[in-house]
């Protein structure tokens, strides 16, 4: 929609037109101020916690074991260098071969929610699936943190 609006403005004689392509979703996901009737409605980004343990694909289980074992969520998240969520490493995986790499024992593609998700929607989703936590990411899939059902 915004590319067409930008094009229309240029046709109307506007000299310097920019298109903020990621749009309102990106702004909301960053937890930036907003205005409007629902501006105070809380979203995932407003209650996200930053205490989840993260590990990398090529780390060895022997190296990550103590950290994963201490995770308050019963798992660690596997992230790329830029923070993109790649997988989940459960505590149950800790008992395997110490030399195994994280990549070999992780569960790929864990479900995530976007940071702009309203808390009402998030509460419904967690209840429907009987989940106690949600992994929150930016629209690009970069980890922002965790939300616990009991905090909603």
Rg (CA), the chain: 19
- The whole-angstrom distance between residue 25's C-alpha and the CA centroid of its chain comes to 13
Out of 31, 34, 53, 68, the only residue in the binding site for another protein (CB under 8 A) is 34
**Nearest distance from C-beta of residue 1 to another protein, angstroms:** 4
1 counts as binding another protein under rule CB under 8 A: yes
Q: Give CA–CA dist 23/79, Å, rounded.
A: 25
95 counts as binding another protein under rule CB under 8 A: no
What part of residues 129-148 is at the interface with another protein (CB under 8 A)?
139
Q: Give CA–CA dist 84/26, Å, rounded.
A: 16
2 counts as binding another protein under rule CB under 8 A: yes
15 counts as binding another protein under rule CB under 8 A: yes
With CB under 8 A as the rule, give the number of residues binding another protein: 38
46 counts as binding another protein under rule CB under 8 A: no
22 counts as binding another protein under rule CB under 8 A: yes
**Nearest distance from C-beta of residue 52 to another protein, angstroms:** 24
Name beta bridge partners: 94. Answer: none
Q: Give CA–CA dist 126/147, Å, rounded.
A: 10
Q: Give CA–CA dist 5/2, Å, rounded.
A: 5
- Other Cβ atoms less than 10 A from the Cβ of 132: the count is 11
Residues at the contact surface with another protein, assessed by CB under 8 A = 1-10, 12-28, 30, 32-39, 41, 139
């Amino acid at each position: 929609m915004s590319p067409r609006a930008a094009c229309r403005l240029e046709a109307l004689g506007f000299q310097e037109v920019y298109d903020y392509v990621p749009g309102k979703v990106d702004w909301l996901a960053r937890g930036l101020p907003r205005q409007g009737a629902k501006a105070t409605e809380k979203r995932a980004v407003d209650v996200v916690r930053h205490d989840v343990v993260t590990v990398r694909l090529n780390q060895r289980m022997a190296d990550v074991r103590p950290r994963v074992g201490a995770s308050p969520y019963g798992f660690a998240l596997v992230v790329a260098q830029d923070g993109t969520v790649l997988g989940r490493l459960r505590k149950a995986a800790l008992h395997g071969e110490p030399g195994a790499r994280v990549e070999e024992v992780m569960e790929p593609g864990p479900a995530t929610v976007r940071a702009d998700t309203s808390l009402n929607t998030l509460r419904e989703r967690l209840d429907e699936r009987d989940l106690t936590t949600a992994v929150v990411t930016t629209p690009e899939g970069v980890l922002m943190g965790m939300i616990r059902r009991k905090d909603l």
